[in-house]
Amino acid sequence: MAAVDSDVESLPRGGFRCCLCHVTTANRPSLDAHLGGRKHRHLVELRAARKAQGLRSVFVSGFPRDVDSAQLSEYFLAFGPVASVVMDKDKGLAVSQAGV
């Protein structure tokens, strides 16, 4: 439960604040109820999913503006499976996500 502990801060006048959910509770039983609640559990799961996605994603910049997602996908296949390529040509970025 180290992740939970890092999400919670004690307030100077008592009570607790869940930094993940931006919820303040008056006491430990209320905090425990919040930590077991649907909103908090959902945000913990969402954070874990985003972290896992980030571990298998590559952020790329500096490619020519005329390169399309198929060309990037073909290039990245040399390094492993590619599930998707998301491009933002205005910012010159591409995200290549490897398959699971």
Q: Average the pLDDT over each of 24-38, 46-60, 77-91 and give the range with the smallest value.
A: 77-91
Q: Which residue ranges make up each domain of the chain?
A: 1-53, 57-88
**95 beta partners:** 59, 86
Kindly tell me if the per-residue pLDDT of 98 is higher than 70. no
Q: Give the angle 83-80-53 at the CA atoms, nearest 5°.
A: 45
- Confidence bin at 93 (pLDDT 50/70/90): low
Crossing angle of helices 28-35 and 38-55, rounded to 10°: 50
Kindly tell me if the per-residue pLDDT of 36 is higher than 90. yes
- Report which of residues 36 and 58 the model is more confident about: 36
Separation of alpha carbons 63 and 77, rounded Å: 16
Query: What SS3 class is residue 58?
Result: strand
Kindly tell me if the per-residue pLDDT of 95 is higher than 60. yes
Separation of alpha carbons 42 and 6, rounded Å: 17
